[in-house]
Amino acid sequence: MNQQSITNKKAWEYRAYEFWNRRDGSPMDNAKKILKNPKASLKKHKQYFDKTEGIKIANLCGSNGRKAVPLALLGADVTVFDISEENKRYALELAKCANTSIDYIVCDIYDINLNTYLDYFDILYLEGGILHYFNDIDKFMEILFSILKNDGQMILSDFHPLRRCIGSELNIIPNYFDGELHNGDLAYKHFFDELEQKDFPDVSIRSYTLSEIINSVIKSGFKLNKFDEHRGWNDENIPWEFTILATK
C-alpha cells in the first residue's frame, strides 16, 4: 500500500460508521427505506441495471453499501472493494437488515487479487467521487480492465472536473490543470462540530482533467460507449458530475 492509500485509509476509518448513522440513519432504518424501492436507490444510474439477476457486479470504493445492497436485492452477486473497515461495518449491517448479502473486501484497489478476479465481473460500478483518491489513474484503469469480463460493462460516475473550479459563490477558481498531490478535508468532516473537526485526519487527493480521465479509459483498452454530464444536485445549470459507459 502506497503512502497516499495509507493516508486515505486512516482518514476513512475515522468515525465513518458514526457519520453514516448520522447521515443515512441506522442500518435498520436505512434498510427499510431501500426495501421500499431498491432500484430507486440507484438514482440516475438505474437505467443501466434492468437485468441484474445472477450478474456479478464489482462496486469499487463502494463505501457504506448504499448501492451494493440495492443491487443485491435486485438479484446481483455484488462484491464491494473499499479501503475502510468502518465502511464495511455499516455496509454488512445494512445488508443483513435488508435480508440480503454482499461480499465486502477491505483492500487498496491497487492490491486487488488478480489471480482471483481476473476477467471475473460482468459489471464494474464506480460512483460518488473516487478518482481523486488515486494518484496513478492509468494503473487504476488497467486494474479495472483486468477484472472485467470480455463484453463486460463499466459504469463510472464521478465529480465533474469543472466542479472544483466553481466556488461557493459561483466564483471562478483557476485550478483546472493542477495535477499535484494535495492534502484535503475528509468528505464528511463538516458534518461534525467545529471543535471535533480539528481532530479529523486529512485525505490525500490528486485531481484530473476531463481529458486525462477519458484518455486513461481509452488507453487501458476500454471502448468508450457513452459520456453524460449531469447538473448540480439542486438542478443548478452547471456540470457537477459525469457518467462514462464503457465496455471491454
Tally of domains within the chain: 1
pLDDT at 235 (0 to 100): 83
Gap between the Cα atoms of 60 and 173, Å rounded: 30
Q: Which residues contact 36 (CB under 8 A, 6 or more apart)?
A: none
pLDDT tens-digit map of 29-79? 999 999 999 999 999 999 999 999 999 999 999 999 999 999 999 999 999
pLDDT at 242 (0 to 100): 97
pLDDT tens-digit map of 82-107? 999 999 999 999 999 999 999 999 99
DSSP string over 181-231 = EEEE--TTGGGS-HHHHTTPPPEEEE---HHHHHHHHHHTT-EEEEEEEE-
Q: Is the pLDDT of residue 124 over 90?
A: yes
105, three cell numbers? 473486501
Gap between the Cα atoms of 131 and 217, Å rounded: 12
126-154 average pLDDT score? 97
Record the pTM.
0.95
What is the CATH number for 67? 3.40.50.150
Q: Which residues contact 218 (CB under 8 A, 6 or more apart)?
A: 224
pLDDT at 168 (0 to 100): 78
Residue range(s) defining the domain that contains residue 206: 3-247
Gap between the Cα atoms of 56 and 148, Å rounded: 10
